[in-house]
Chains A and B, each alone.
Chain A
């Protein structure tokens, strides 16, 4: 019984992980597609290390901006620009 409970807790944890990020404003891929040609929109790939190297999905034209150096790169963009950050 204990083992089953442990296993259930594990799967619950794995299944609910995406919900933790629920409060961050998000954009659907359709919305993003509509803005792709706009100069006001900058797509930033915040993955680094193996998170980036192992991934097959990289948006064309996206700029790499490591998530741990946000203070450095955030200053380089104007405040009226839309910054789209993606990490998966």
Chain B
């Protein structure tokens, strides 16, 4: 794919159009009403500021990967640990959750007789095989998944917005208690997971947050115009409830396609993110060298497929624990992004001899959201245990490789 903008969109929007993101948006719309739209715009602005800070920092230094920014501020092993912990658990848990959801959707919307788990495993096998395609074709495939999902959401969103089932005053009615709305607002931060995949350091513009606002603006309005806020807030599949109300059975089928293509986009995007991170780690001597080249293509996707397949086969999808683990993995990614953005801010400060205030405020606000999500969750202990054990495990792995690798002495 030649256009960096389209590539950036295709890779960064994977998670954004996944059914998981649609649940977060739908529930938030039910809690916050139309205020979800300006709030989403504000969060998108925070991510844009963070991205610009990271890109400015990358432009300022010769060796400019995200990993090297982190390394310069927190050290090699903590940087490697945070990088590993932020993407691998997320990939495996998100793949388990999303593929199972796709299986159910395929079974309930398209073919009743086809077993949902059979479809989930088939999709996992196909997405793993896709990873062996030349990268140019894989990027095109990812673009197709993302475009299909975005088109479906836009069709339903625009149609639902121009044919509201309620008067405008009712749509704009404001609900709810403060505690619930604060949590919903913070949860919207999780929509941007994986948006750091493929960001040209030369580019000053990151399209992912803007696209999130544009697409979800219509979708949120359409959902509120057709479904009661209380129902949206409490539903586990608000996207399906809204699409059925908007366009009946056709709406369900369009949403079915969105769910399946969105899941494929999220899994492929996260897989590419992990591959990119592994390449970075290997090139910094923090992972085996063969992983910097073709080795990772042959090793990583089958490994992830086996882990995800085992999670599905052992019934993790049918366990409440999966939701807690997935949320923890998303929070770990958010923590990584905050640390990366803060590191970039302090590197810039050293270079410019002045602290850029918006660059400092944006990651601090993201961190505040991170804390709100953790503290208001009924599973705070489990989340903290998961985050700390992931960090410890990845630190051990990174430290083992770093200290057992003889080439570490060559690196500065």
Give residues in A with beta carbon < 8 Å to B. 13-14, 17-18, 47-57, 67, 88
- Select which of A14, A17, A49, A57 is within 8 A of B318 by beta carbon: A49
Q: Does residue B122 face the partner (Cβ distance < 8 Å to A)?
A: yes
Shortest Cβ distance from A87 into B: residue: B318
Q: Does residue B29 face the partner (Cβ distance < 8 Å to A)?
A: no
- B100–A54 touching, CB < 8 Å: yes
The minimal Cβ–Cβ distance linking B124 to chain A, given in whole angstroms, is 12
A57 to B237, CA, bound (A): 11
Complex interface bits, B93-135 against A, C-beta within 8 A gives 1, otherwise 0: 0000100110011011100001111100110000000000000
A17 to B115, CA, bound (A): 8
A13 to B114, CA, bound (A): 12
- B97–A50 touching, CB < 8 Å: yes
A19 to B4, CA, bound (A): 50
- Select which of A14, A48, A53, A57 is within 8 A of B115 by beta carbon: A14
- B104–A55 touching, CB < 8 Å: yes
Q: Which residues in B have their C-beta under 8 angstroms from that of A57?
A: 108
Q: Which residues in A have their C-beta under 8 angstroms from that of B97?
A: 50
Complex interface bits, B259-282 against A, C-beta within 8 A gives 1, otherwise 0: 000000000000000000000000
- B115–A50 touching, CB < 8 Å: no
A18 to B316, CA, bound (A): 20
- Select which of A14, A17, A50, A67 is within 8 A of B101 by beta carbon: A50
The minimal Cβ–Cβ distance linking A48 to chain B, given in whole angstroms, is 5
10 contacts between A and B (CB under 8 A): A14-B121, A17-B118, A48-B319, A50-B100, A53-B323, A54-B100, A54-B101, A54-B236, A55-B237, A88-B107
A87 to B122, CA, bound (A): 21
Q: Which residues in B have their C-beta under 8 angstroms from that of A49?
A: 316-323
Shortest Cβ distance from B121 into A: residue: A14
Interface size of B by CB at 8 A reads 28
Given contacts A14-B114, A17-B115, A51-B104, 8 further A-B contacts (CB under 8 A): A50-B100, A50-B101, A51-B318, A53-B237, A54-B105, A54-B237, A56-B240, A88-B116
- B104–A54 touching, CB < 8 Å: yes
Q: Which residues in A have their C-beta under 8 angstroms from that of B100?
A: 50-51, 54
The minimal Cβ–Cβ distance linking B249 to chain A, given in whole angstroms, is 12
A69 to B202, CA, bound (A): 56
- Select which of B115, B118, B121, B237 is within 8 A of A56 by beta carbon: B237
Q: Which residues in B have their C-beta under 8 angstroms from that of A13?
A: 118
A67 to B320, CA, bound (A): 13
A51 to B108, CA, bound (A): 12
A55 to B107, CA, bound (A): 10
Shortest Cβ distance from A46 into B: residue: B318
Closest 3 CB pairs of A and B: A14-B118, A53-B236, A54-B104
| In the complex, chain B residues 282-321 whose Cβ is within 8 Å of any chain A Cβ | 316-321
Q: Which residues in B have their C-beta under 8 angstroms from that of A56?
A: 104-105, 108-109, 237, 240, 252
Q: Which residues in B have their C-beta under 8 angstroms from that of A51?
A: 100, 104, 317-318
Shortest Cβ distance from A16 into B: residue: B115
Shortest Cβ distance from B326 into A: residue: A50
Q: Which residues in B have their C-beta under 8 angstroms from that of A53?
A: 236-237, 323
Q: Which residues in B have their C-beta under 8 angstroms from that of A50?
A: 97, 100-101, 104, 317-318, 322-323
